[in-house]
Structure 1
Amino acid sequence: MQLNKLDYSRAEPFIAVPDAVLSEGVLYVSPARTLMWVDIYRAKVYRRRLDTGATDVFHAEGSGSVGAVFPILKCDNNGSSSNDGTEVEEFLFAAKEGIAHGRFGGSWEYIVKYSESGLDSERLKRLRSNDGNVRDDDLYIGLINDFDQEMTDEGVILKINLVSKKIEVFWPRITIPNSIYWVGEYMFVTDSMNACIWRTKKGFQEREKFIDVSQYNTSSEENIPEPDGSCLNANGQLLFVSIWGHAKVQVFSTRDGMLVKEILLPKETPRVSCCALVGSDLFVTTGSEHLGTGKTGQPSKGGCLYRLSNVILDSDDFSTRGAIYRDN
């Protein structure tokens, strides 16, 4: 069967952020018609209203970095979101040393620190937050070696109960943990440096390699296909995976792990970092080509967001991940 390829290699940025370094973790908050994403390196959280175009930025000064953002949505007595037409004001985010609470136009503070996990303090000093997700009252967050450290397998995935604040090691060793999702009884864990996505019911010990991304990509040893941030479609049957360094998003079936579609982005921005579905469109974040060099922070083509139209035809799908629901 011939692979379905969608070519957006001539797309122009939907949102250009001239000083962005590592735009990541894009998600869509449907009740508020809002895109949110972070710049990990700049320690910033962004929100963009798709109906009005209004954009706001929260700078988590002193946090070290911001790996992921988790919007807080308020629920009515029926358990449904009451944020229709309103702004997302509050959120949790993954900072250098733990999970913090922030508010647009306000300040931030830690609600739990990774040091409470029992991990070695020297190991934690070398790590920073990366991607994560929320399921029920539990927040899962991956830690990787910080920007000034050599990449090793001392990364980890932590599980934090947002009610009790109990924190435990869920996945003890991994080099670059990335997106985490659930489909039915299965959990999917993205392992960037091993170019794969694991599937498990109970955690690290019972994992199986479900998607071997390297099988579907040709590359040199210097440019392995790293699966990065991703999103599910609404029914959980398709997983859209950003392939860092290769200017594309690949779409896999969560039933059998097979590649079903490939979405090509401009070669000028190969560091594709994350994606989110909104209706028929796919929003994609990118990283700067200067990241990891002496030119980090200089203007670059990377760091922008793309809006790719009609990726899924006649669809009202949207992907909301990492949202935290609280009673009014």
Structure 2
Amino acid sequence: MVVSTVIEKPFIKLDADLSEGITYDSRNRSLLWIDIKRGCVYRTFLSGKEEPGEVKCYKADSSVGVIGLTSDVDKVIVGASKSVKILNMKTGETEVVAKYPKDNVASNGWQLRSNDGSVDSNGNFWVASMCDFSCPEVLDLGTLYRLNAKTLKMEPVITGTGISNGLNWYDGHMYWTSSKEHIIYKFEADSATQLPDLETKTPFVKIAEVFKGYSDKSFVKGEPDGFCMDSRGHIFTAVWGTNRAIELDTSGKLVREFIFPAKRVSCTTIGGKNMNTLFVTTGLNDEPDADPNDMGGCIFKVDLGSGVKGVEKNKWKGPLTA
């Protein structure tokens, strides 16, 4: 039986276009996320009672697709529009670490941008490219890259991607979201390098199958978006277009759903003092028939209970040049 939890109020009320890429840093109890369209990185510090403090915005680029933690709590690595940067949140300055090949311009001349990614256990920064908002449609022109922390080379891992999103590793496997296909894929991964064996690519979850019994038939077209994993290997993924984030067990079975007053649920992370609070980002719903009470752009939180334990984020091990 699927357990449903309805969340009615936001944790942080925010005037944002597309909140995404949320992460938690236990070293200073900070919550960080981005607004992709505004190119901003946000940070707030949680109090002893788990309440948010002042939210500060740091302009990093024209667009920002993903951030990763580093060895310095005041610096994050940023997937920007045409490059990867280090953002110094003490000074607000950024410095380029690496550039995308050909300034992130596709073979047909379309401009690409960064989307989601992750930091692996070796401290490399994985970041995907995809069609920019200026493109007339989303074609399979993107690439999932690994930015090597030692060589600073952008190494292509998966090519011909449409919308590359959530990415993580567990128990010898890599899990990767292809939002355009509405699928989370599973690969066998090398234990030393974390690189996937592309020949082992297997659908782990198809969103259409997860929601096939729901009365709202539009849910089968929901897009899996950003996700996090807990210590058991359960996936907590946002599902864009469904008002929901869902919990999947290690077999891909739906066990819990979390329902928000925002249609466009975009990303999740687990944090808090007990590492069992789910923090969730959402995007502004600008559809003509959007619910006027939709709270897209806000940040939400859910207490997952004592049976869940989040996993500390890996840190970028390359240079901190900013």
Alignment-derived partner of residue 55 in structure 1: 55
Alignment-derived partner of residue 180 in structure 1: 167
Q: Is residue 2:259 matched to residue 1:264?
A: yes
**Contact in 2 for aligned 1:253/1:259 (Cα 8 Å):** yes
**Contact in 2 for aligned 1:223/1:245 (Cα 8 Å):** no
What secondary structure does 1:205 align onto?
A: helix
Change in Cα spacing, 1:122 to 1:109, as seen in structure 2 (3 Å) is farther
Alpha-carbon distance between aligned partners in 2 of 1:230 and 1:50, rounded to the nearest angstrom: 21
1:29-68 aligned at under 5 Å gives the runs 29-51=25-47, 53-60=53-60, 63-68=61-66
What secondary structure does 1:31 align onto?
A: coil
Structure 2: runs of 5+ lacking an equivalent? 189-195
- 1:72 partner amino acid: T
Residue-by-residue CA offset, 1:164-183 (whole Å, 9 max, x unaligned): 11222110112110011000
Alignment-derived partner of residue 95 in structure 2: 109
Which of 1, 11, 14 aligns to 1:14? It is 11
**Contact in 2 for aligned 1:137/1:163 (Cα 8 Å):** no
- How much has 1:21 moved relative to structure 2? 0.3
What secondary structure does 2:126 align onto?
A: strand
What secondary structure does 1:73 align onto?
A: coil
Change in Cα spacing, 1:50 to 1:31, as seen in structure 2 (3 Å) is same
Which of 111, 125, 128 aligns to 2:113? It is 128
Change in Cα spacing, 1:248 to 1:140, as seen in structure 2 (3 Å) is same
Q: Is residue 2:291 matched to residue 1:317?
A: no
Alpha-carbon distance between aligned partners in 2 of 1:250 and 1:14, rounded to the nearest angstrom: 18
Residue-by-residue CA offset, 1:62-88 (whole Å, 9 max, x unaligned): x220001112124xxxxxxxxxxxxx2
Alpha-carbon distance between aligned partners in 2 of 1:306 and 1:264, rounded to the nearest angstrom: 10
Alignment-derived partner of residue 204 in structure 2: 210
Alignment-derived partner of residue 289 in structure 1: 285
Alpha-carbon distance between aligned partners in 1 of 2:105 and 2:40, rounded to the nearest angstrom: 28
Structure 1 vs Structure 2 CA RMSD: 2.6
Alpha-carbon distance between aligned partners in 1 of 2:74 and 2:100, rounded to the nearest angstrom: 25
1:161-172 aligned at under 5 Å gives the runs 161-172=148-159
1:83-162 aligned at under 5 Å gives the runs 88-104=73-89, 105-115=91-101, 122-123=107-108, 125-135=110-120, 136-149=122-135, 150-162=137-149
- How much has 1:222 moved relative to structure 2? 9.3
Residue-by-residue CA offset, 1:161-215 (whole Å, 9 max, x unaligned): 0221122211011211001100021000011111111111234333111111210
Alpha-carbon distance between aligned partners in 1 of 2:40 and 2:226, rounded to the nearest angstrom: 17
Q: Is residue 2:17 matched to residue 1:24?
A: no
Change in Cα spacing, 1:204 to 1:120, as seen in structure 2 (3 Å) is farther
Alignment-derived partner of residue 78 in structure 1: none
Residue-by-residue CA offset, 1:257-294 (whole Å, 9 max, x unaligned): 2222222222xx1100011112332111000012x88x
- 1:132 partner amino acid: G
| TM-score, structure 2 normalization | 0.84
Q: Is residue 2:221 matched to residue 1:228?
A: no
Alpha-carbon distance between aligned partners in 1 of 2:108 and 2:311, rounded to the nearest angstrom: 34
- How much has 1:123 moved relative to structure 2? 5.0
- 1:145 partner amino acid: C
- 1:137 partner amino acid: G
Alpha-carbon distance between aligned partners in 2 of 1:259 and 1:148, rounded to the nearest angstrom: 35
Alignment-derived partner of residue 253 in structure 1: 249
Alpha-carbon distance between aligned partners in 2 of 1:326 and 1:164, rounded to the nearest angstrom: 9
- How much has 1:106 moved relative to structure 2? 2.5
Alpha-carbon distance between aligned partners in 2 of 1:259 and 1:223, rounded to the nearest angstrom: 14
1:302-313 aligned at under 5 Å gives the runs 302-309=296-303, 311=304, 313=305
What secondary structure does 2:133 align onto?
A: coil
Alpha-carbon distance between aligned partners in 1 of 2:29 and 2:236, rounded to the nearest angstrom: 21
Work out the percentage of aligned pairs sharing the same amino acid: 27
| TM-score, structure 1 normalization | 0.83
Change in Cα spacing, 1:137 to 1:73, as seen in structure 2 (3 Å) is closer
Alignment-derived partner of residue 77 in structure 1: none
Change in Cα spacing, 1:66 to 1:154, as seen in structure 2 (3 Å) is same
- How much has 1:125 moved relative to structure 2? 4.4
